Amino acid sequence: MRTALTIAGSDSSGGAGIQADLKTFQALGVFGMSAVTAVTVQNTQKVYDIQEMKPNIVTGQISCLFEDIHVHAVKIGMVASTKLIEAIAGALKKVGRLPPVILDPVMISKSGYALLAPDARKALVRHLFPLALVVTPNLPEAEDLLGKKITDLNGMKEAAREISALGAKMVVVKGGHLEDGKATDVMFDGKDFKLLENKRIATQNTHGTGCTFSSAIAANMALGKPFIDAVVCAKRYVTGAIEHSFSLGQGCGPTQHFFDLYKKAGLNINIKRDDSI
């Protein structure tokens, strides 16, 4: 059985964070494990508060898994502070042969809540980028990392090249926020670019898409797929999950991680918005 470890925060609404990561791993046939970095207080409408885990607890979660289980891929999501970043980097550096690490630089929630302290952004680049095989920023995150606006595909390509120069071996700049009517991602393997184009899906139910995409890349790499193939398969998966997303609560609903499994099982799952609140 192939395995993947997510190092990320917990989403109490179940649509993002470690909940989304574990669902994605399971949907793609990979056994998922988790090291919780923080507990968030959130629903479909917004993030209200965050409680970080102690750095030694995060380190312990990571170390005990590698001591016992063969980990085939690692996904890193929300890490809110410099102390946590240093703890994660320290634990991973002690691993003899590190599996592929996919880093999703989660910085700001959809509702605008800061999920990464401003003083921790340099630490993220300094400590975790060199350990990452793939970094997957969306446009706002890429802009924040580089300190400049990105308005078109050429800008995305240049951003991918510059982020690679910061230490990431391979980069996927996600174009879902680009106002061009498409959802085009830019892949950069350190030498060449490849574009992944897809139609934009008209839905507000996109909670957790970034987490799902990066964990899908991790799952596919855990299964042995190379970079390009892993990203292409992840893009196909997250597109299907968005197409089958559903309204839950009063805000942005989640994607449907098990859409393909439900289809194969002959189950017609149709969840409508709960307006009883």
Q: In a 10 Å sphere around its CB, with 0-12 CB exposed, 13-18 middle and 19+ buried, how is residue 267 labelled?
A: exposed
Contacts of 223 (CB under 8 A, 6+ apart): 2, 28, 29, 30, 72
Please say if 210 is a catalytic residue.
Answer: yes
Q: Assign 182 to helix, strand or coil.
A: strand
Please say if 203 is a catalytic residue.
Answer: no
Q: Which residues pair with 108 in a beta bridge?
A: 114
Strand ranges for 77-182 from DSSP E: 101-103, 134-135, 170-173
Please say if 209 is a catalytic residue.
Answer: yes
Q: Which of 174, 176, 235, 255 is catalytic?
A: 174
Q: Which of 40, 209, 239, 255 is catalytic?
A: 209
Please say if 208 is a catalytic residue.
Answer: yes
Q: Report the C-alpha gap between 243 and 201 in whole angstroms.
A: 7
Q: Which of 82, 136, 175, 211 is catalytic?
A: 211
Q: Which of 9, 77, 155, 208 is catalytic?
A: 208
Contacts of 56 (CB under 8 A, 6+ apart): 87
Q: Which of 15, 32, 210, 251 is catalytic?
A: 210
Q: Which of 3, 24, 206, 212 is catalytic?
A: 206
Please say if 211 is a catalytic residue.
Answer: yes
Residue positions annotated with a catalytic role: 174, 206, 208-211
